[in-house]
Structure formats: C-alpha cells, structure tokens
Amino acid sequence: MKPFHIRDYDLLVIGECFIEFRCDGDVCLCKEFDKDIGGAELIVAASASRLGSGVSLVSAVARDPFHSRIRERLLSQGINIDHVITAQGYNGIYFTSTRYPEQREYLIHHPGTAAAHI
C-alpha cells in the first residue's frame, strides 16, 4: 500500500540530484562517458529502498534536458518523488573516473542549480 503522508515513509531524504558522467580513465582526457544520476543522498535513498524501506525524496529538479531521465531513474529505484518539485536553473553535474575505484576522481559543478530551491 502506498503511504498517504510523508510521515508514513521509513526514510525521508533531502538533497540534490546530480547527473553523473563516469569514465574509466582521466576525466580530462576521456572521450566517452557513461551517464546516470548520482549524489550521496540518492545513493542512500536507493540503498535503503533496495533493502525494503519506504523512501521519499525532497528535492528540486530543473527542467533541463535531463529532467525526465532523473525522475524515471528515481522511480525505477523505488524512490517516491511526490515531493520533488520542478524549478528554474540547471541540474548539478559531476564527472568521475572509476579507473581507481578506491580513490575516485571527482569534478563537481553545481552553482545556481535547481536544488537551491529546496
């Protein structure tokens, strides 16, 4: 049964949705990237959902080219998005390299993103 109120969820996550561009080499030299959604908050939300918790996200998503992809991925992870608003601006992005999994390289860009409206 779907919860009717935000307090009916096991976990409420508040945070920003990022677009992740991932490569296997040096971020500045790679010519090909896999893309997905990411961010620490989303990792927590998706992990809790996989473990059977009812999870709802409070966030803002910009109406940029990634808008639909973000919402679809959240839903596919079992994360409720009833409290995700659409806002002006852009969604944050980051680039990461999986070349050394124990010591990932990150390049993050998120000034003026939609999450400022949370």
Residue 109 lies in a domain: yes
User: For residue 82, what are the domain limits?
Assistant: 6-117
Query: Residue 84 corresponds to which tokens in the numbers above?
Result: 């995700």
- Which range, of 1-5, 50-54, 75-79, 92-96, averages the lowest pLDDT? 1-5
Residue 1 lies in a domain: no
Residue 20 lies in a domain: yes
Three-class SS state of 92: strand
Output the domain CATH number for residue 57.
3.40.1190.20
What's the CA dihedral at 12, 110, 90, 40 to 10 degrees? -30
Residue 40 lies in a domain: yes
Residue 82 lies in a domain: yes
What predicted TM-score, i.e. pTM, was given to this entire model?
A: 0.82
Of all helices (H) and strands (E), which one includes residue 40? Answer: helix 40-50
Residue 101 lies in a domain: yes
- Which range, of 70-79, 87-96, 108-117, averages the lowest pLDDT? 108-117
Residue 1 has pLDDT above 60, yes or no: no
What's the total number of domains in the chain?
Answer: 1
